[in-house]
Homo-oligomer: A and B are copies of this chain.
Amino acid sequence: MHGYTNDKDAYLKRLRRIEGQVRGIQSMVEQDVYCIDVLTQISAVTKALQAVGIGLVEDHLSHCVVDAARQSPEAGQAKVKEAADAIARLVRS
């Protein structure tokens, strides 16, 4: 059981849509679509991926971090440290 287990199907659906969008960008490049239009689509897919990341962070905090904190403050804080590092990578990407 992980934070995202309850929403697994919704996440898979979003990730399959993102995969389709990346394939769409490949077609744009193959068909010599104008650079600016390719860039607009890259920004859209980047946002969609970050939105999945933000959702995973929230689910992780709601389940894994809250559950660990219920066991002991130390267990909660260990999970927080790990989550904060993942959030930092997301903010910096």
Contact = CB atoms under 8 A, between A and B. Distances in A.
Interface in A38-86: 38-40, 42-47, 49-50, 52-54, 56-62, 64-66, 69-70, 73, 76-77, 80-84, 86
Q: Give the number of copies in the complex.
A: 4
B29 A58 contact: no
Given A4-B38, A87-B91, 16 more contacts: A1-B32, A4-B29, A4-B35, A15-B26, A19-B23, A35-B56, A35-B64, A36-B86, A39-B57, A46-B53, A50-B92, A57-B87, A61-B61, A62-B81, A69-B69, A70-B73
Interface of A: 1-5, 8, 11-12, 15-16, 18-19, 22-23, 25-26, 29-30, 32-36, 38-40, 42-47, 49-50, 52-54, 56-62, 64-66, 69-70, 73, 76-77, 80-84, 86-93
